[in-house]
Amino acid sequence: MELNLLIENKLGLHARPASLFAQKASAYKSTIMILKGEKSVNGKSIIGIMGLGVKQGESLLLKIEGPDADEAAAALQKLVANKFGEE
């Protein structure tokens, strides 16, 4: 499944949000890819996510495939919508 996410928190996907995202993603069996522009990275990789250099106001495309894709999508969507608990 595919999913669009708008990153609204102030810091974008800096170290802490990136690590929260990767940790959450790693809890699921599904493969999770993040696409931004030309780049695509493993959503379970903090290095990959930070390497995208996502800033506030930018959006990402998530591609999730696997047995628990729906749950993973819901959890990640919630994490992003909550702005990673920043505010």
Is residue 64 part of the contact set for another protein (CB under 8 A)?
Answer: no
Which residue of the set 3, 9, 14, 66 is catalytic?
Answer: 14
CA distance 40 to 81: 21
Q: CB-based contacts of 38: which residues, under 8 Å, 6+ apart? A: none
Is residue 67 part of the contact set for another protein (CB under 8 A)?
Answer: no
Are 49 and 18 in contact, with CB atoms under 8 Å apart?
yes
Active site positions, annotated? 14
* Residue ranges in contact with another protein by CB under 8 A: 10-11, 14-16, 19, 22-23, 41-42, 44-48, 50-51, 53, 55, 86
